[in-house]
Amino acid sequence: MSDQRQFRPRALGEIAIRCADMDAMARFYGKVIGLEHLSGTPQDGIIFFRIGEGFGGHTSVLALFHHAATGRPGLHPSGAGTPQTGARSSLHHIALSLPFAEQDVVMAWYEKLGLSYRVQTFGWIGWRGIFTEDPEGNTVELVAYDASLKDASG
């Protein structure tokens, strides 16, 4: 057998967030961010939202798991304690892509909702991100590429 890896991931299939307040988190990702609800309810302890097409027929999803929901031992952590967010979390942030032309609409929407946000440009790659927080303190970025943002040195 070759000592060279014979595979490479092509896309993010799923990101799962452990939550304390399923109702607030479901409202945020469904109503504020606008992800399509696929399955589950807060009472089920697990909810899936569609992010996009993904790769090879696998839809990219965001999953919300109630922090006390029982999973498979050793695979899905669970517990009575509230999940850590912010600086104590191992999750730095999640970034969801959208067209650059929609970013002004995002900022206007956040302003209408009274949601605080910040904007950062990443010239080395030609991205602009709009950052906010979900109800449990996780940073959520809506990011877009635009060639005009790319540094000439880049």
Q: 3 Cβ partners below 8 Å, 6+ apart?
A: none
Kindly give, in sequence order, each residue whose CB lies less than 8 Å from that of residue 142, ignoring residues fewer than 6 positions away: 33, 95, 96, 97, 98, 103, 106, 129, 130
pLDDT of residue 90: 62
Model pTM score: 0.82
**pLDDT at residue 88 in the model:** 65
Residues 64-86: pLDDT tens digits? Answer: 998 887 655 555 555 556 666 66
Instruction: Give the pLDDT score at 52.
Output: 93
CA distance 96 to 44: 25
Regions of the chain with pLDDT less than 70: 1-2, 70-90, 152-154
Q: Which two tokens stand for residue 13?
A: 């299939």
CA distance 129 to 108: 15
**Res 59: pLDDT:** 93
User: Which two tokens mark 133?
Assistant: 């927080």
Contact by Cβ (8 Å): 132, 116: yes
pLDDT confidence of residue 128? 96
Tokens 């009274």 label which residue? 114
- What does the alpha-carbon distance between residue 71 and residue 84 come to, in Å, rounded to a whole number? 18
pLDDT of residue 86: 63
Contact 130, 102 (CB under 8 A): no
pLDDT of residue 152: 62
